Amino acid sequence: MTDERLPGLYVHVPFCRSKCFYCDFYSITAASLIPAWLSAVLTEARLYKERFGIFDSLYIGGGTPTVLDTAQLELLINGLLSEFHFLPDTEVTIEANPDCITREKLDLLRELGVNRISLGVQSFDDDHLSFLGRQHTASEAELALENIRTAGITNLGVDLIYGSKDLSEEKWVKTLEKALTFKPEHLSCYQLTLEKGARFGKMKDEGLIKPISEEDARRFFIVTSLFLRENGYVHYEISNFALNESYYSRHNQKYWRHVPYLGLGPSAHSFKAGVRWWNDRSVKSYCTRLDRGELPIEGEERLSEEQLSLEAVYLGLRTKEGLDIADIDDHPRLGPIINQLLGTGLIEMVDGRITPTAE
Ligand code: SF4
């Protein structure tokens, strides 16, 4: 049994083998800092001990958590499991990349209690992978997917990216078809964005790369949604699809429902009782502060009732669950907007809930 209001624990592993050209997540390539970061994260965990009660999800994300070697993965996961309380059927996810997820690591992760792996495949086309600046080939991704299955992981998520100029609709559908041959329980299909903090953002400013048009973005989104729904997946959030409700990401749903979460690691965010706070981004200063025994918090905001309820509206509209019509009573301005959206088929009303259509 799970209580959907139980908090979730997130750990940010800020290391990658190299920087993908589209990525603006906080990550660095200095692997020499991993031991100091690991010790700091476990100190941070000790400082929060007992402050969040029982968790029913643990999400180890990044960066690339699987750049850690087996000894480091074991120290991290065992450390977290001993500092905090978790329900017996906790969803334990780790993000992995094909270039550093070995069979040995998979066996260990499974032994340590990891029951969900989210693999950054992004594409099954070598040209597209090198355009994105990925460190692996399509065949390495296929091997990793096979290894995940033979290691006995029964909840597999595959991340893919669409939306670059030279990716035709036909190639994209082939990518989806290829992904489905591994029968993933979960798929995340992200649209490529040219973020300021990423190499692609700089290339965009220099006129070397252009985003696809809004009309093309819309078309790819609809094609993806239709294709995956026809193949038995539920489109349960803008970018997320699952075989059925039991495979919705338990952890990510907490972000969309204002359920408390604790984030450990550089740049990680936390939320509890209407307060959101976030950690220092720099690995060095994160470690220094924890060495001194202080929490590495960089900032916090207390959300007013109005902010919380506006967030509930836009977070709800990201999901198939939508939002309860009663929740918008506090916002008289929204009434006419909702009516207009209903008239254009962009949202629909089902059992007193407003839900977005694929359009
Ligand atoms: S996309 Fe993933 S692997 Fe690539 S740099 Fe970003 S966090 Fe690292």
CA 19–ligand 1 middle distance (angstroms) = 6
Same domain, 97 and 227: yes
Q: With respect to residue 293, please indicate whether it lies within any of the assigned structural domains.
A: no
Give domain status of residue 1, yes or no. Answer: no
User: Residue 230: which CATH number?
Assistant: 3.20.20.70
One domain, residues 90 and 191 = yes
Instruction: Please give the span between the terminal C-alpha atoms of the chain, in angstroms, as a whole number.
Output: 35
State how far the Cα of 9 lies from the Cα of 75, in Å rounded to an integer: 17
Of 85, 84, 105, give the one whose Cα is nearest residue 41: 84
Q: What does the pLDDT average to over 333-344? A: 88
* Alpha-carbon dihedral angle through residues 165, 224, 310, 272, given to the nearest 10 degrees: -100
Residues 241 and 152 in one domain: yes
Q: How many independent structural domains does the chain possess?
A: 2
Is 237's pLDDT higher than 90? yes
In this prediction, residues 87-105 reach a mean pLDDT of 97
Q: How far apart are CA 107 and CA 104, in angstroms?
A: 5
Q: Whose CA is nearest to atom 7 of ligand 1?
A: 63
- Domain final residue pick, 191, 221, 256: 256
Mean pLDDT value across the chain:
94
Q: Helices 138-150 & 103-112, crossing angle to 10 degrees?
A: 40
Domain housing 17: 8-256
Distance 332 CA to ligand 1 centre (A): 42
pLDDT at 2 over 70: no
More confident residue, 166 or 20: 20
Which atom of ligand 1 has the smallest separation from the CA of 16? 8
Residues 150 and 17 reside in one and the same domain: yes
What is the pLDDT at residue 3? 53
Q: What is the DSSP letter of 185?
A: S
Distance 119 CA to ligand 1 centre (A): 11
292 belongs to a structural domain: no
pLDDT tens digits along 212-227:
999 999 999 999 999 9
Segment among 159-163, 198-202, 304-308 with least mean pLDDT: 304-308
Atom of ligand 1 nearest to the CA of 62: 7
For the Cβ of 23 lying below 6 angstroms from any atom of ligand 1, the answer is: yes
State how far the Cα of 337 lies from the Cα of 339, in Å rounded to an integer.
5
What CA–CA distance (Å, rounded) separates 125 from 171?
9
What percent of the chain has pLDDT above 70? Answer: 99
Q: How far is the CA of 161 from the centre of ligand 1 (A)?
A: 12
